[in-house]
Amino acid sequence: MSIWDYPFFVALMLGLVSTIHCVGMCGGIMGMMTMSLPQPVRQARGRLLAYTLAYNSGRIASYTIAGLLVGWLSSVLLAADPSGAGFSLLRVLFSILVILVGLYLAGWFPHLTLVEHLGKPLWRRVEPYGRRLLPVKSPARALLFGMIWGWLPCSPVYTALALSSTSGSAWGGGLFMLGFGLGTLPTLTATGFLVGLSTRIRKMRYLREISGGALAVMGLLGLLLAVWPHDHAQHVHPGQDTHVHQQQ
C-alpha cells in the first residue's frame, strides 16, 4: 500500500504545507483585492468573508480545471501502456519531485524557482485581465478575479499538477487539484482579513522548514513504497476495474 492510494489526502497535505509559499505568492494579491474593496465592505466581516471566499473559489476552480486537463492528457498517454510500467515510473519520478518541492519550501533547494518560468508566457497574457477587474465591486467580480490569478506561475501548483497526472483520469486529476486548493484555503482566507499576515508568516523561517521538511518526508515515504517489492499480480492500471476472485 502506498500513500498514492490516498490521492485526495496527499493533495490536501501538499496544499497545506505549501501555504507558506502560497502566502508569499498570493497573499499580496489577496491583500490587493481586499484593499480595493469599498471601506464599508472591509469593515463588515460577513461581506468581506463573501468576497474572500469568492476570490478563493475562483482560484481553486482554476486549479481544478487545470487538473481535469492534465488528468485527461495523462489518461490518453497511459492508455498506450497497458503494462502499467509507465505509471509506476511516474509515481517514482513524482515522489522525487515532492521531495524536491519540500526542500524548496524549506529554503534548502532554491533552484526550483526556475520551474515557475515555464508558466510566464501564459501569465503575461492573462494577468492584464485580472487587473481590469480592479477595483472588485461584487462577489461575482471577485470570483472572476480569483480565476484569473489562479494561473499565477507557482512551483507547488505545478508540482500538484504533475502529481495529478498519476490519477489516470480527468476526474481524478480534477479531484486532486481540488484537494490541493482546499488545503491552501484556510490560510489564504485568513489573509483576506489580516492583510499583514502574509508578511509575518514569510518571516517565520522555522515554520517554512517544518512544513517543507514534512512534505519531503512524505515524498520520501512515497518513493520508498513505490520502489519496494510488491505483488505485481495485484497491480491495477488506472482506469481498470478491480475484480477480486476468491479462490476456493
CA–chain centroid gap for 48, Å, is 24
Cis peptide before 121 (omega within 30 of 0): no
The answer to whether residue 1 scores a pLDDT higher than 60 is: no
Distance CA 4, CA 10 (A): 7
Lowest mean pLDDT among 4-8, 16-20, 127-131: 4-8
Radius of gyration of the chain (CA): 19
pLDDT at 118: 67
Is pTM, for the whole model, over 0.75?
no
Q: Residue length, the chain?
A: 248
The better pLDDT of the pair 161, 244 is held by 161
Distance CA 45, CA 126 (A): 30
pLDDT at 238: 40
Tell me the mean pLDDT in the region 10-23: 77
Per-residue model confidence as pLDDT tens digits over 42-76: 888 888 889 989 999 999 999 999 999 988 988 88
Report the chain's mean pLDDT, rounded to a whole number: 76
Cell of 64: 481544478
Q: Which of 215, 233, 219 is nearest to 91 (CA)?
A: 219
Cell of 126: 492573462
Contacts of 152 (CB under 8 A, 6+ apart): 25, 26, 29, 119, 123
Distance CA 132, CA 13 (A): 34
**If pLDDT is split at 50, 70 and 90, which confidence band does 33 have?**
confident
Contacts of 64 (CB under 8 A, 6+ apart): 174, 177, 178, 181
- What percent of the chain has pLDDT above 90? 16
The better pLDDT of the pair 143, 91 is held by 143
The answer to whether residue 87 scores a pLDDT higher than 90 is: no
Distance CA 235, CA 212 (A): 31
**If pLDDT is split at 50, 70 and 90, which confidence band does 170 have?**
very high
Distance CA 198, CA 156 (A): 17
Angle at 227 between CA 223 and CA 229, to 5 degrees: 140
Tell me the mean pLDDT in the region 204-220: 72
Tell me the mean pLDDT in the region 124-129: 85
Element (H, E) at 194: none
The answer to whether residue 225 scores a pLDDT higher than 80 is: no
Q: Which of 11, 2, 9 is nearest to 164 (CA)?
A: 11
Q: At what angle do helices 170-193 and 45-79 cross, to 10 degrees?
A: 160
pLDDT at 232: 42
Distance CA 30, CA 33 (A): 5
**If pLDDT is split at 50, 70 and 90, which confidence band does 234 have?**
very low
